[in-house]
Structure 1
Amino acid sequence: MADNDEENSPKGSNGDGPAGGAGAASEAQLNVLAQYVKDLSFESPGAPQTLQGPGENPQLQVGVNVNAGPRGDDVYEAVVHLEAHAKSDTGVIYNVELDYGGLFRIKNIPENMLQPVLFVDCPTLLFPFVRRVIADIVRDGGFPPLMLDPIDFGRLYSQNLSKGGDTPNGPPN
């Protein structure tokens, strides 16, 4: 074994030096502490008739929204709210709503960059799980899985800002 203390000390995430050194104190950090289904609803009011075929001209409408806010010292919650409504000429095929949340530790990020991190980066990290939950619940309802296209949360954030206001949405419930 080497007698070199530096070689045996824990390294920072970049491996350049000891963890907790002067450089690590000011390095921006975004850590996922938890992620969870906060609310989930699936309705298929026309079942079992709708399970025999969607009818003519099935249409799907998908809406997404993000809420975020502080939950403690350096801890923030971001919640992706997604709704999908499938309809045909004969009526509603299914409705699904999901609130999928995440707790994030965010440190050393400038105040002017906090909102983009909360409303773009955090939901981007959560989205693959949102997509899986939606696909699974629709499949479990007896329909082909709903495979959502990727969502550009940066564009969504910009659109919400252009509508006016400092933040796209308030803190989550």
Structure 2
Amino acid sequence: MIDEQNNGAAASDEENSPQFSLQRIYVRDLSFEAPKSPAIFRQQWEPSVALDLNTRQKALEGDFHEVVLTLSVTVKNGEEVAFIAEVQQAGIFLIRNLDAASMTHTLGAFCPNILFPYAREALDSLVTRGSFPALMLAPVNFDALFAQEMARMQESGEAAPSLQ
């Protein structure tokens, strides 16, 4: 009888403990444009790179969440656009039993951190297939970006992002 009670308590603790599991990683969207090719290949290569990074999340059924990390890169050679490349790297995550603040941090920083290496590799592959040098983007500190965004929202009086 005591063992049954202990097993029931252990099962209850396990059901209520935080859980995180990556279910799937996939490319949601991928695009590449080289508007000045082939002329751009005949010029001296002195690129300037502009990176735009964005994340969004959507609650799916049950405890499943989709997180999408978007990397958009515009590379100019002088004043001319050499290429524009974008990847939307997505993941489905099973996340249970987190308080609201932990859930917001997990979806806004932890999940994008998992997705970034995949997005960076997809972007590099795309760019090299366009016959340009790989970008080799530096790592991104999503925790710092998340903290900055939360501070900005708090200063401006905006509500924290919804989990929907």
Give the structure-2-normalised TM-score: 0.84
Correspondences of 1:20-169 after superposition (within 5 Å): 21-55=11-45, 57-164=46-153, 165-167=158-160
Amino acid at match of 2:141: D
Task: Give the 3 Å change call, closer, same or farther, for CA 104–156 of structure 1 in structure 2.
Answer: same
Contact kept, 8 Å, 1:67 with 1:169, in 2: the verdict is: no
> Percent sequence identity over matched residues?
28
Distance (whole Å) between structure 2 residues aligned to residue 142 and residue 88 of structure 1: 14
TM-aligned CA distance change 1:54 to 1:31, over 3 Å: farther
Return the alpha-carbon distance in structure 1 between the equivalents of residues 126 and 107 of structure 2: 27
Q: State the one-letter code of the partner of 1:115.
A: T
The C-alpha deviation readout for 1:13-34, integer Å capped at 9, x for no partner, is xxxx9xx834422221111111
Larger helix fraction of residues: 2
User: 2:93 corresponds to which letter in structure 1?
Assistant: F
CA RMSD of aligned residues (A): 2.1
Contact 1:82/1:99 (<8 A) preserved: yes
Contact 1:42 1:94 in 2 (8 A): yes
In 2, Cα distance between the equivalents of 1:37 and 1:150?
A: 19
| Consecutive aligned runs of 4 or more in structure 1 exceeding 4 Å deviation | 168-171
* TM-score, structure 1 normalization: 0.80
Contact 2:104 2:163 (C-alpha < 8 Å) held by counterparts: no
Amino acid in structure 2 at the alignment position of 1:78: V
Structure 1 residues 24 and 52 mapped into 2: Cα distance closer, same or farther (>3 Å)?
A: farther
Give the gaps of 5 or more residues in structure 2: 1-6
Which residue identity lines up with residue 80 of structure 1 in the other structure? L
Change (3 A) 1:68 1:94: same
Question: Compared with structure 1, are the counterparts of its residues 170 and 46 closer, same or farther at alpha carbon in structure 2 (3 Å cutoff)?
Answer: farther
How many angstroms apart in 1 are the aligned matches of 2:162 and 2:51? 18
Return the alpha-carbon distance in structure 1 between the equivalents of residues 39 and 162 of structure 2: 39
1:54 touches 1:93 (CA, 8 Å); kept in 2? no
Which amino acid is the alignment partner of residue 98 of structure 2?
Answer: I
Q: Which residue in 2 is equivalent to 1:10?
A: none
